[in-house]
Amino acid sequence: MAYLDHAATTPMLDVALEAYVATAREVGNASALHGAGRQARRRVEESRERVAAALGARPAEVIFTGGGTESDNLAVKGIFWARRSADRRRTRVVSSAVEHHAVLDAVDWLAAQEEAEVSWLPVDALGRVSPQQLRAELAAAADQVAVITTMWASNEVGTVQPVAELAAVAAEHGVPLHTDAIQAVGQVAVDFAASGVSALTVTGHKLGGPAGVGALVLARDVAVTPLLHGGGQERDVRSGTLDTAGIVAFAVALETAVRHQQEYAARVAALRDDLVTRVRQAVPEAVLNGDPDDRLPGNAHFSFPGCAGDALLLLLDAQGIACSTGSACSAGVAQPSHVLLAMGADSARAGSSLRFTLGHTSTPEEVDALIAALPEAVDRARRAGSLSASR
């Protein structure tokens, strides 16, 4: 099998798996006051320090959550609610047109349920958000903006955003900027303090940890209203019994991924570049989407004109090659990618896309397998595509 869908989820690192199993054997609620509880709490706090150190944050800035979607929701809704409560004029949200649905739909929800006014920053053809656009947006009415949320790197097309520049613009106006860095941590250098962002989302299963655990790194001066109320864990921001084993494994994975990031990125980017070159040789009409230079090392995202992405996926799947159409599914049906549409693609091009993402277990043999299967798959998918187009 060729697993080319690491951006969806990547295998757990052995060290993380071992740490998980070892911790899961221990009993103790991290909030309990006895010895077993203190032991669990110690593991959580050590993990918090590891995550903080790896991300250039302070331990007190790390809030463990149930994963990326929760962190994004907590940041977007929580900061919006807190800032609007402090000042009723702050009813605006600024975001980008290429966010993951965990941000996109949270922002849409604020618009629908909380009467938030939303400014969607456009992107260029490579999927980049422009700091100038943000500056223009804030120049108009910065005092009405509750929160800015714009991702670090695109889960679909792999484009890495100028996050530090965006954060600097936000800072000029004193507006907190949240960034979804789920795809970035372990892939590119991520330093919370140096980036200047106020909040940052990270999750375990994209970097070799378990699914269902992540963190929101939140600057100490940024107030947030909780989504979950209860026992008051995590600075009263995120109630719920701490998943000690999950947190330990997440921290080990994150620390390992960040420590090896440079050599990982060099190795995987070389493999990815080989994949891109050979896809283009095999299918000359294929179009690489996203920024050719500032992109995640493991991401290759193509449009195959005349093909339906889901047909290609089926045909490659039958050959044991796992990849993704890259866009969100509704009841199993891939929807046209809002990211590609925002980048100026028409719906035909958006629907003809396929994402191949490499990771820490990727091998040249997997790329070989893709290249061996791709031409026939494209040929068949094109025949099927011309069929539906002609009706």
Partner 1 sequence: MLGFGGGGRGGYARPGTTAVPDGVGKVVGVRVLAAMSGGVDSAVAAARAAEAGHDVTGVHLALARNPQTYRTGARGCCTLEDSRDARRAADVLGIPFYVWDMAERFQADVVDDFVAEYAAGRTPNPCLRCNEKIKFAAVLDRAVALGFDAVVTGHHARLGADGLLRRSVDLAKDQSYVLGVLTREQLSRSMFPLGDSTKTQVRAEATRRGLAVADKPDSHDICFVADGDTRGFLAQRLGAAPGDVVDGDTGEVVGRHTGAYAYTVGQRRGLHLDRPAPDGRPRYVLSITPKTNTVTVGPAEALAVSQVQARRPVWIGGPRPADPVECEVQLRAHGDVVPATVAVTGDGLRAELHQPVRGVAAGQAIVAYRPDPAGDIVLGSATIAA
Catalytic (active-site) positions? 329
Nearest distance from C-beta of residue 384 to partner 1, angstroms: 4
Distance separating alpha carbons of residues 325 and 350, to the nearest angstrom: 9
By CB under 8 A, residue 314 contacts partner 1: yes
Q: Pick the binder of partner 1 from 173, 278, 280, 380 (CB under 8 A).
A: 380
Choice between 253 and 316, CB closer to partner 1: 316
| x-marked contacts with partner 1 along 236-255 as a string, rule CB under 8 A | --------------------
Please, which residues have CB within 8 angstroms of residue 155's CB and are 6 or more apart in sequence? Answer: 7, 100, 182, 183, 326
DSSP 126: T
Q: Pick the binder of partner 1 from 236, 273, 285, 317 (CB under 8 A).
A: 317
Q: How many CB atoms lie within 10 A of CB 187?
A: 30
Nearest distance from C-beta of residue 174 to partner 1, angstroms: 42
Nearest distance from C-beta of residue 308 to partner 1, angstroms: 9
Q: Cα separations (Å) of 305 from 90, 179, 346, 368?
A: 44, 33, 11, 22
Question: Considering only CA atoms, which of 267, 257, 297 is closest in space to residue 13?
Answer: 257
Q: How many CB atoms lie within 10 A of CB 45?
A: 14
What count of residues does the chain have?
Answer: 391
Choice between 1 and 387, CB closer to partner 1: 387
- Amino acid occupying residue 375: P
Question: Considering only CA atoms, which of 54, 67, 22 is closest in space to residue 204?
Answer: 67
Question: What is the footprint of partner 1 within residues 328-347 (CB under 8 A)?
Answer: 331-334
By CB under 8 A, residue 315 contacts partner 1: yes
Q: DSSP for 85-120?
A: HH-TT--EEEEETT--HHHHHHHHHHHHHS--EEEE
By CB under 8 A, residue 348 contacts partner 1: no
By CB under 8 A, residue 388 contacts partner 1: yes
By CB under 8 A, residue 1 contacts partner 1: no
Nearest distance from C-beta of residue 329 to partner 1, angstroms: 8
Q: DSSP for 192-240?
A: HHHHT-SEEEEESTTTTS-TT-EEEEE-TT-----SB-SS-TTTTTB-S
By CB under 8 A, residue 33 contacts partner 1: no
Choice between 35 and 332, CB closer to partner 1: 332
Nearest distance from C-beta of residue 346 to partner 1, angstroms: 16
Contact window for partner 1 (CB under 8 A) among 2-10, 63-71, 153-161, 312-320: 312-320
Contact window for partner 1 (CB under 8 A) among 78-86, 136-144, 216-224, 327-335: 327-335
By CB under 8 A, residue 354 contacts partner 1: no
Choice between 1 and 331, CB closer to partner 1: 331
Nearest distance from C-beta of residue 105 to partner 1, angstroms: 16
Beta-bridge partner residues of 334: 329
Choice between 246 and 336, CB closer to partner 1: 336
Question: Considering only CA atoms, which of 199, 123, 194, 144 is closest in space to residue 164?
Answer: 194
Q: Cα separations (Å) of 281 from 28, 116, 274, 311?
A: 57, 48, 11, 21
Question: What is the footprint of partner 1 within residues 282-311 (CB under 8 A)?
Answer: 310-311
Nearest distance from C-beta of residue 161 to partner 1, angstroms: 31
Beta strands 333-334 and 329-330, pairing class: antiparallel
Q: Pick the binder of partner 1 from 318, 344, 347, 375 (CB under 8 A).
A: 318
Size of residue set near partner 1 by CB under 8 A: 17
State the residues that interact with partner 1 by CB under 8 A: 310-311, 314-315, 317-318, 331-334, 380-381, 383-384, 387-388, 391
